[in-house]
Amino acid sequence: MKKKNQKFTYRDLQSQSATARERTRGRASGGPMGGGYVIGVDGGGTKTIAALANLKGKILKLAKTGPSNLRNVGIKKAAENIALAIKKVLPKKGKILSTFIALAAVEEEYKFKKERIKKEILKEKGVSKISKGKIEIGSDQVIAFRAGTDDKDGVVLISGTGCVARGWKGNKEAKVSGWGWLDDEGSGFWAGQRGFQAVLKELDGRGPKTKITKLIFKEWKLKNKEDLLKKVYSKNSIRQVSCISRIVDKAAEEGDKIAKSIMKEAGKQLAQATISVIKKLNFKNQKFPLVLVGRMFRSKVVLKKVKSQVKKIAPRVKFIRPKKEPVLGAVKLAIENLK
């Protein structure tokens, strides 16, 4: 059993969904009480997670496939990975009443391409079953927020492969950052890129020694600089660079000055994006939830920096780190769309 403040990961949810499936076997084909099912999808920069749930929000089945960030892989590849994830969770019997698909960049340059994205997904084999129910495509930022709170007003700060800050207050919305890997300061990619640069500077003799170099060669089992370049400049280079951020954080925990400075700066950039949203929505002197989502917040250095900086501007803020994966927010919204 998980402790009170321990986060539930994809693996934990998978274990719970297996137990739930055992309990629901033999029930009516329409799902619990014949009510049917919903599907939530979280499409990110490194993976796509789909969840099958009953109408009470109980996750029954989970599946994970490749990335579906529209900026990084395009509509066609994103649709393939989304459809594959959905296909893996579809029940043999019973209706899919509602599906909520959350994607990065879908409220930016892909805002007017939602119907095309939907058509591309439904073109894939084995997913036509969802077309009989409601289908909505929305932002990954919304489901990340809803995974942490049922409040309608508040702010979410996401920092995984990419990063973004977004808030809601009544009819007003504000978004800062989230412009893709070339600009996402404070993201896993951003921190990983700086870690990669620090390693190359040491190897070239252009910069000081850093524990990041030793750790990356050890963890990736590299023999030389050429091995490093092959690993980073692979087909999935965005993911590989982002993964370096974990090694940078490990070096920071071991006291490496360069690694610490990278992670501190990441926290500072994330805090600045959040503060900008807070000011735009006038949350400064009010109570509001700030939901923190993404691997970068596993870093003690980043988390401490974000909290201290934001608290100076908004002393009544309530920090929330969701105990479950953001896909739970997609499930919640799929259910709400039935009301």
Give one word for 212, left, alpha or beta, with left for phi > 0 and alpha for psi -120 to 50: alpha
SS (H, E, C) 319-337: EECCCCCCHHHHHHHHHHC
Q: How many whole angstroms separate alpha carbon 60 and alpha carbon 45?
A: 24
**Percentage of the residues of the chain whose pLDDT score is greater than 70:** 90
Q: How large is the average pLDDT for residues 229-256?
A: 95
CB-count burial class (<10 Å; 0-12, 13-18, 19+) for 203: middle
Separation in Å, CA 292 to CA 63, 287, 326: 23, 16, 11
Neighbours of 221 (CB within 10 A): 8
Q: How large is the average pLDDT for residues 210-230?
A: 97
DSSP state of 6: P
Nearest C-alpha neighbor of 44 from the set 96, 89, 104: 104
The mean pLDDT value of the chain amounts to 91
- Which amino acid, one-letter code, is at 68? S
Domains in the chain with CATH codes? 10-147+325-336 (3.30.420.40), 151-183+264-320 (3.30.420.40), 191-261 (3.30.420.40)
- pLDDT higher than threshold 60 for residue 236: yes
- pLDDT higher than threshold 60 for residue 9: no
Q: How many whole angstroms separate alpha carbon 81 and alpha carbon 325?
A: 18
- pLDDT higher than threshold 50 for residue 273: yes
Q: Give 91-123 pLDDT, tens digit per residue.
A: 999 999 999 999 988 988 899 999 999 999 999
Greatest CA span in the chain, whole angstroms?
68
Dihedral angle, C-alpha 208, 214, 217, 220, nearest 10 °: -120
* Higher pLDDT, residue 268 or 239: 268
pTM (global) more than 0.75: yes
* pLDDT confidence bin for 35, thresholds 50/70/90: confident
SS (H, E, C) 178-233: CCCCCCCCCCHHHHHHHHHHHHHHHHHCCCCCCHHHHHHHHHCCCCCHHHHHHHHC
- pLDDT higher than threshold 50 for residue 31: no
What is the pLDDT at residue 323?
A: 86
* Higher pLDDT, residue 235 or 33: 235
